[in-house]
Amino acid sequence: MVLKEGATRSRGTVVQRGNITAAKIIAELIKSSLGPRGMDKMLVDSLGDITITNDGYEILDEADIEHPAAKIMVEVAKTQDEVAGDGTTTAVVLAGALLKRAEELLDKKIHPSAIVTGYRKASDESIRVLKMIAQEIDVDDKDVLQKVAETAMHGKATDSAKTLFSEIAIKAVKLVAEEKDGTLLVDKDDIQLVKSVGRGLLDSYLVQGLIIDKEIVHPDMPKYLEDAKIAVIDTALEIEKPEFDARIRLRDPIQIRAFLDEEERLLSEMVNKITGTGANVVMCQRGIDDLAQHYLMKNGILSVRRIKMSDVERLSKATGAKIVTNIDEMSSDDLGWAELVREEKIGEDTFIFIEGCKNPRAVSIMMRAGFERMLDEAERSMQDGIGVLVDVLKENKVVAGGGSIEVELAKQIRDFSTKISGREQLAVEAFAEALEEVPTVLSENAGLDPIDIMVELRAAHEKEGGTWFGINVLNGEVANMIDLEVLEPIIVKEQAIKSAVEAASMILRIDDMIASSKAPPAPEPPPGAEY
Ligand code: ADP
Ligand code: MG
């Protein structure tokens, strides 16, 4: 007995087939959401909270997935989301298709390592072809950027707002992009998405600055302040209250009076320290005592308390404020600056806007929608739009979507397979077939006959100038997707292929699974037991 009691071990084909099946189920689960005609999923968690989404990663993240191989598929979606910001469904569908084809090869007694090697070669070749045929775009051409962003947002519940959302995303990304060694890099954290229920999607807008989901602590403080000198404080503007046993010793009213006077003195000193630096705005991560609020108000200082740490860091970065942890050592050098700080009630929520910050690389998007679940999906849509824009700024190359790129790659991979000998050749061919899963699913989801469409697509790609022929899902015709301006960043496709191949290879290599037993629940004492 090497394994712990209760651990189970399974090996060989049982494990391999079990894993493949689990992974295929995941791909099957989300494939109906692929493409502009894809459907949404409604997910209900154990607490009854509902999410309605079309986003591959979101679906898998919300679904409570247990099987270890299925979890690898969730990882694929996650990596895709982090690296490319879009293409999560595609990556998972592709991984599922690779495994489906691999299963057929396993049935023919082809060794998993031959399949893995074949897939690896086909993947390298696909990426080489991808880089060769991708089209360069001018990142200053707003129209092209608009098309790229709209393609990513097409077919979501928020479709009606995709033009506006794309415009907002382009502005946001352009404002925060920074040139490093000739490439435009964007730190997505510089773009803050703030959500407020009410109005409609088309009431969403961009703010050059920060938005904090808080209100001003005192009603008599200014609600609108230009030339804001901002103190960002990470300590409570309160006097630490004595412990209970210390308090009972203050029986004498004179002592109590003295104690209160002392408290008042300390708080007023604290506020004097702050006003002494020239600050007219206080942004505090902790609490602000009522009395301190009063003194701050008397000094005309706009103050906000209990700000989230992440917002405090954002504030510091945007306004140039140093985060103060000790009021006694505070000076004017610690203050940040913004053109304007103001409070505004939007829908049911009150927000603080910090606009025209010292560091212009701070933008926020106020997302609006009539109800909460739409708002959440709007946020994901916006993130996809931002994601693809960040991709094309980083590498200014696009390919056409609608299945065109996958059909073209499949064709070129089939040609390439003739150069590969032995059993690996079969795997390379299988890879080509797996790529065609994307146009197949796109046409299925659009209610078209995938067999007819594939025949037409292959024929179109054989012709001169047929490279970009894909499915116009709106009318079911095979058409040039560049002409239809369905454009996707090369990074999205490259990453989808890479992660799909990695996941499929990883799952194929496993032939042994050892699972330790879960800790048994502690036995309940029988009723009436004496303890
Ligand atoms: P993913 O999570 O993979 O991004 P989507 O549901 O966003 O999944 O669908 C992406 C697919 O939809 C891509 O293959 C893309 O080319 C395709 N697509 C997007 N817009 C269009 C369009 N107007 N016509 C045809 N296909 C489109
Ligand atoms: Mg997408």
pTM of the predicted model over 0.75: yes
64 is an active site residue:
no
10 Å CB burial of residue 217 (0-12, 13-18, 19+) is buried
Q: Which domain holds residue 250?
A: 213-357
Q: Based on the domain organization, do 124 and 223 belong to the same domain?
A: no
Set 61, 81, 190, 384: catalytic member: 384
Q: Based on the domain organization, do 221 and 322 belong to the same domain?
A: yes
pLDDT (0 to 100) of residue 525: 60
Q: Are the CB atoms for 381 and 225 separated by under 8 Å?
A: no
Structure tokens, 143: 């129209």
List, as one string, the DSSP characters of 465-484.
T-TTEEEETTTTEEEETTTT
Q: 381 C-alpha vs ligand 2 centroid, how far in Å?
A: 8
Q: What is the pLDDT of residues 418-467, one digit of tens each?
A: 999 999 999 999 999 999 999 999 999 999 999 999 999 999 999 999 99
Of 414, 470, 484, 411, which is closest to residue 441 (Cα–Cα)? 470
* Atom of ligand 1 at shortest range from CA of 471: 25
Q: Based on the domain organization, do 161 and 231 belong to the same domain?
A: no
Q: Kindly give the interhelix angle for 162-176 and 142-153, rounded to the nearest 10 degrees.
A: 120
> Residue 44: in which H helix or E strand, if any?
strand 41-44
Computed from CA positions of residues 33, 36, 37, 39, in that sequence, does the dihedral angle turn out positive or negative?
Answer: positive
What percentage of residues in the chain have a pLDDT greater than 90? 78
Q: Is the pLDDT of residue 252 over 80?
A: no
Q: What is the pLDDT of residues 182-206, one digit of tens each?
A: 889 999 999 999 999 999 999 999 9
Q: Kindly give the interhelix angle for 162-176 and 372-394, rounded to the nearest 10 degrees.
A: 50
Q: Which one is predicted more confidently, 477 or 520? A: 477
* Atom of ligand 1 at shortest range from CA of 404: 16
In this structure, which ligand is nearest to the CA of 151? 1
Q: Which one is predicted more confidently, 244 or 306? A: 306
Q: Which one is predicted more confidently, 42 or 163? A: 163
Q: Are the CB atoms for 134 and 398 separated by under 8 Å?
A: yes
Does residue 145 belong to any structural domain of this protein? yes
Report how far residue 385's alpha carbon sits from residue 165's, in angstroms, rounded to the nearest whole number: 8
Best of 33, 34, 76, 475 for a ligand 1 pocket test (most atoms within 8 Å of beta carbon): 34
In the predicted model, what is the mean pLDDT of the chain? Answer: 92
Q: 128 C-alpha vs ligand 1 centroid, how far in Å?
A: 22
Q: What is the pLDDT of residues 382-431, one digit of tens each?
A: 999 999 999 999 999 999 999 999 999 999 999 999 999 999 999 999 99
**Does ligand 1 have an atom closer than 6 angstroms to the CB of 59?**
no
Report how far residue 250's alpha carbon sits from residue 430's, in angstroms, rounded to the nearest whole number: 84
Task: Say what the alpha-carbon torsion angle 370, 373, 379, 385 is, to the nearest 10 degrees.
Answer: -90
Expressed in angstroms, the distance from the first to the final Cα of the chain is 36
Q: 151 C-alpha vs ligand 1 centroid, how far in Å?
A: 7
Beta-carbon contacts of 111 under 8 Å, excluding residues fewer than 6 positions away, are 423
**Does ligand 1 have an atom closer than 6 angstroms to the CB of 146?**
no
**Does ligand 1 have an atom closer than 6 angstroms to the CB of 385?**
no
Q: 404 C-alpha vs ligand 1 centroid, how far in Å?
A: 11
Q: Are the CB atoms for 469 and 404 separated by under 8 Å?
A: yes
Structure tokens, 256: 């109590």
Does residue 520 belong to any structural domain of this protein? no
Q: Based on the domain organization, do 218 and 333 belong to the same domain?
A: yes
Q: Is the pLDDT of residue 246 over 60?
A: no
Q: Is the pLDDT of residue 515 over 80?
A: no
Structure tokens, 347: 């829908």
pLDDT (0 to 100) of residue 531: 45
Q: What is the CATH number of the domain that holds 259?
A: 3.50.7.10
Q: Based on the domain organization, do 384 and 499 belong to the same domain?
A: no
483 is an active site residue:
no
**Does ligand 1 have an atom closer than 6 angstroms to the CB of 89?**
yes
Q: 68 C-alpha vs ligand 1 centroid, how far in Å?
A: 28
Q: What is the pLDDT of residues 330-342, one digit of tens each?
A: 999 999 999 999 9
Q: What is the CATH number of the domain that holds 151?
A: 3.30.260.10
> Residue 192: in which H helix or E strand, if any?
strand 191-197
Our count of domains for the chain comes to 3
Set 53, 89, 151, 158: catalytic member: 89
